[in-house]
Chains A and B, each alone.
Chain A
């Protein structure tokens, strides 16, 4: 298999005397969905912050495209192609689709002092990119994002990240606030992004959603990788038990299945 797009080796994160992450090793390849499963407090959000360049790791190494990297901040990580899409905070509801899509990277037209946002261009590109994801209900770039459904907003955030050259997409609980239909729509978006060669880190506490799309899985318990396995190696019951059972359960699993 090809070399990992992004890889963590023995990454730990310590805040004062609390150990949020200890010796995490994991990797994601291009065109692959890695699911990070874990209950609340398992260290998922800290891990996201390490992946997206917000926190430098206290120990261990982050590799990106085979080279060890140390991000100066989220900006640098984003610049290298690591895009994070947060559950709720990705878009501005009272702004239009076009303006949201290009927020922070606005296309300009005209000469100073009449230099302005190229709204037409922004709206056209935004709608085109949304349509690639099968969203046809949104047909006016001036429409406010707040009028879109949760799934459509995720599609906007994901298509924006991909348009701006994301190689790794970190999706933080993209399905948790959604109904069944909307969630399955977002899972389809993820499959499509995977088909386009993006490496996806899918953070979720919903084992069902993870099993539906994941290629590889990492179960996080109290800041440690309790289990990691590939698609088809575990049943959903096993995964649920893993997530619920804590370390003791994880150890038990290891004893039962030494081949892993």
Chain B
């Protein structure tokens, strides 16, 4: 370290261009590196291994993209929230609840679909507000708070649905415009892929370019320092909880319109799938580090594995084993990359 006595405004004239560091050392420190490598390798593996089965065909590609897309729409805000240091496990039941709001509204009450979609999205935001306020006011771990809301929301959805319409699933009456926005298909490709890309683009912008993104990193990276610097950390968290709720409700509407029915149990798989792909994407479980690019490739990897297995003709039971192994490897790799990033080059 250079210790020099003061004065130094002459130093200002020196251009502040960085020294040359080997590019690979910078790349090695990127949190999304693991997910991208794993994605490429897995993709090549399936592409070669199932060369005759059509995994790389347009239809095969649409297949894994469809599967990744709906999860991915939720995983983006879940990942941002995790960077800010919090979990949201209530997303699962919010998906089902949103689909039921649209189903009961359009089917049991014969209401037009668009206002019901709006209501469903607002219900998702409301769940987010409850989660956010509960977490910042009680200081309890969000893991347990949102696990509780997950059960509360699905229980309430089933109870209220049965009370109103005596069902826990019901068909949806959709207009053409709603069908286009949420269920349009080109060949095998669903419009959800477009929504996923859009969510990724917005997430990327917010996290890496906007002031709010700076606050997300700071909130998860050092809560005290963020607060000390004047970052409204509680507002940051509540807004992110609202975003996860909104995304979950959006996917609920998407699935409902796509399958022409609402069901309280839609989305329960996402409760753990979303955090899993986020962590595989290189987001630090303890917050403060990670990128949207990583979340994107973590989700894509999930899609490739889940559909690729079908093409191999193996038993699909292996998917769980694959995912579990990947998750374990990802957690190890993340903590290693974090350490690497904190060593001076």
With beta carbons under 8 angstroms apart, the residue of A92, A184, A191 that contacts B221 is A92
Main SS of the interface on chain B? loop
Measured CA separation A102–B230 after assembly (Å): 11
Q: In chain B, what residue has the closest Cβ to A191?
A: B6
Residue B317 interfacial (CB < 8 Å): no
Measured CA separation A235–B182 after assembly (Å): 79
Residue A255 interfacial (CB < 8 Å): no
> B2–A136 contact, CB under 8 A?
yes
Given contact pairs A95-B217, A134-B8, A146 touches B16 in the complex (Cβ within 8 A): no
Taking CB atoms, residues of chain A closer than 8 Å to B1 are 137, 149, 151-152, 181-182, 185
> B222–A93 contact, CB under 8 A?
yes
Taking CB atoms, residues of chain B closer than 8 Å to A147 are 341-345
Measured CA separation A106–B211 after assembly (Å): 7
Residue B166 interfacial (CB < 8 Å): no
Interchain nearest-CB distance for A160 vs B (Å): 9
Given contact pairs A94-B289, A103-B225, A116-B210, A131 touches B14 in the complex (Cβ within 8 A): yes
Residue A256 interfacial (CB < 8 Å): no
Measured CA separation A148–B229 after assembly (Å): 19
Given contact pairs A115-B210, A128-B16, A91 touches B230 in the complex (Cβ within 8 A): no
Measured CA separation A93–B224 after assembly (Å): 12
Measured CA separation A197–B218 after assembly (Å): 31
> A192–B18 contact, CB under 8 A?
no
Residue B288 interfacial (CB < 8 Å): yes
> B6–A195 contact, CB under 8 A?
yes
Interchain nearest-CB distance for B100 vs A (Å): 33
A99-130: which residues lie under 8 A (CB-CB) from chain B? Answer: 99, 102-106, 108, 115-117, 123-124, 127-128
Taking CB atoms, residues of chain B closer than 8 Å to A108 are 211
> A92–B288 contact, CB under 8 A?
yes
Taking CB atoms, residues of chain A closer than 8 Å to B3 are 134, 181, 184-185, 188
Taking CB atoms, residues of chain A closer than 8 Å to B341 are 94, 144, 146-147
Residue B19 interfacial (CB < 8 Å): yes
> B19–A139 contact, CB under 8 A?
yes
Residue B187 interfacial (CB < 8 Å): no
Taking CB atoms, residues of chain B closer than 8 Å to A216 are none
Residue A135 interfacial (CB < 8 Å): yes
With beta carbons under 8 angstroms apart, the residue of B5, B12, B344 that contacts A134 is B5
> B342–A134 contact, CB under 8 A?
no
Measured CA separation A137–B3 after assembly (Å): 10
Chain B residues bordering chain A, tally (CB within 8 A): 42
> B16–A139 contact, CB under 8 A?
yes
Interchain nearest-CB distance for B216 vs A (Å): 10
Measured CA separation A185–B5 after assembly (Å): 9
Measured CA separation A146–B218 after assembly (Å): 13
Measured CA separation A139–B341 after assembly (Å): 16
Residue A209 interfacial (CB < 8 Å): no
A158-198: which residues lie under 8 A (CB-CB) from chain B? Answer: 181-182, 184-185, 188, 191-192, 195
Taking CB atoms, residues of chain A closer than 8 Å to B214 are 95, 99, 102-103, 106, 117
Chain A residues bordering chain B, tally (CB within 8 A): 53
B280-308: which residues lie under 8 A (CB-CB) from chain A? Answer: 284, 288-289
Interchain nearest-CB distance for A198 vs B (Å): 13
> A132–B11 contact, CB under 8 A?
yes
Residue B338 interfacial (CB < 8 Å): yes
Interface centre among B2, B11, B18, B214 (most CB of A within 10 A): B214
Residue A140 interfacial (CB < 8 Å): yes
Taking CB atoms, residues of chain A closer than 8 Å to B338 are 94
Taking CB atoms, residues of chain B closer than 8 Å to A146 are 341-342
Q: In chain B, what residue has the closest Cβ to A132?
A: B8
Residue B137 interfacial (CB < 8 Å): no
Residue A89 interfacial (CB < 8 Å): yes
Residue B122 interfacial (CB < 8 Å): no
Q: In chain B, what residue has the closest Cβ to A98?
A: B214
Taking CB atoms, residues of chain A closer than 8 Å to B12 are 128, 131-132
1/0 per residue, CB under 8 A from A, across B75-111: the answer is 0000000000000000000000000000000000000
With beta carbons under 8 angstroms apart, the residue of A92, A127, A141 that contacts B217 is A92
Residue A86 interfacial (CB < 8 Å): yes
> A124–B16 contact, CB under 8 A?
yes
Residue A41 interfacial (CB < 8 Å): no
Residue B226 interfacial (CB < 8 Å): yes
1/0 per residue, CB under 8 A from A, across B1-25: the answer is 1111110110110101111010000
Measured CA separation A93–B218 after assembly (Å): 9
Measured CA separation A94–B11 after assembly (Å): 27
> A90–B228 contact, CB under 8 A?
yes
Contacts beyond the supplied A127-B16, A139-B16, A188-B6: 9 A-B pairs with Cβ under 8 Å? A91-B222, A91-B225, A94-B284, A103-B214, A106-B211, A131-B8, A134-B4, A188-B5, A191-B6
Q: Could you jot down 19 A-B contacts, CB within 8 Å?
A: A89-B222, A91-B225, A94-B217, A94-B284, A94-B288, A104-B230, A106-B211, A116-B211, A132-B12, A136-B11, A137-B1, A142-B18, A144-B341, A146-B341, A149-B1, A184-B3, A191-B6, A192-B5, A192-B6
Among all A-B residue pairs, the 6 with the closest Cβ atoms: A104-B229, A104-B230, A146-B342, A140-B18, A134-B4, A92-B221
